[in-house]
Amino acid sequence: MILTCAVAALAILALLTQAGVLWVQNRFPPQGEVVAVSGDDLHIVDLGPRGLAEPPIVLIHGASSNLGAMRAPLGDQLAQRHRVLLIDRPGHGWSRRDDLADSSPAMQARAVGEVLDGLGISRAIFVVHSLAGALGARMALDQPARVAGLVMLAPVTHPWRGGVGTYNRVMTTPVIGKLLAYTITLPLGLLITDSAARAVFAPQTMPDDYVDTSATPLLLRPREFLANSWDLITLKNAVQEQVARYPQITAPTVLIHGDADKTVSVDIHSRNFAAAVPHAKLIVLTGVGHMVQNAAPDLVQREVETLIATAVTKSHAAMR
């Protein structure tokens, strides 16, 4: 009797999840185009004027989100004067990732590079947030000619004490993870999405429309939630592997991090990264939490435009 009830409950939750997936995808459809890369298809939104004599700006989101987290206000603001590409990382938003466990920054950096090659973009300014800090560092290490400048917002760059949450570890456990992903994760997640997002913004106040404008509920779809868990579970080892190479980074680099960030420590990550990377500039914002792109978009824009001006000057000097 108990077993029968348990099976019935799981079946109901599975049906609710499938219905929820359809609702979420209809509520938050793709906003751009899908570009084929080896093994995956990546969703991008291409904004702003084309044909400018300057490198475009590539914005890459962190964990538990999609490109919508970088679009408002920062992406839209930058796109008023510059070409801006927003990219859903592999497995997130409307980008596909066939092998969920293949989650390394190196893989994701290669995929981003292939997208840019397909668009005919050889060089860009990269603006990366949170988990994508590891990806941005990897781009600068593995594809240095492509990185005209690097702006890192509350980035993950170094190993830290502790883990990334028991639930993420459970989600990467064979059988159990998929069972949870396809039954309880979406119904439960819809109940706590708003409060969880507000906690990430603290001590700043989250905009009331942020969950909708950023399409955050897309995260709750089973495959994306599993991809996100794999990203987080493997992140610590991934940054450990690349830490020793950071002094090799030659791209002009700016780090912007709030000293009230409870998600990613400014001391463990940004201060150590700035100390390791030659000529890196560190800006620490007093009383600012994790969502730097929302708390200080004007500052981020100024730093991006400074890097663009530097890149254009170097390009002109090389042509003389």
Task: Give the type of residue at 80.
Answer: Q
pTM exceeding 0.95: yes
Strand, helix or coil for residue 57: strand
Q: What does each of the 320 residues of the chain score in pLDDT, given as a tens digit?
A: 677 877 788 889 999 999 999 999 999 999 999 998 887 899 999 999 998 999 999 999 999 999 999 999 999 999 999 999 999 999 999 999 999 999 999 999 999 999 999 999 999 999 999 999 999 999 999 999 999 999 999 999 999 998 888 989 999 999 999 999 999 999 999 999 999 999 999 999 999 999 999 999 999 999 999 999 999 999 999 999 999 999 999 999 999 999 999 999 999 999 999 999 999 999 999 999 999 999 999 999 999 999 999 998 877 666 66
Residue 35, phi then psi, degrees to nearest 5: -110, 130
Specify the long-range contacts of residues 116-122, CB closer than 8 Å, at least 24 apart. 116/58, 116/85, 116/146, 118/35, 118/36, 118/37, 119/35, 119/46, 119/85, 121/55, 121/56, 121/85, 122/146
Domains and CATH numbers, the chain: 2-319 (3.40.50.1820)
C-alpha closest to that of 252 among 166, 149, 117, 162: 149
Q: Which two tokens stand for residue 279?
A: 């000529």
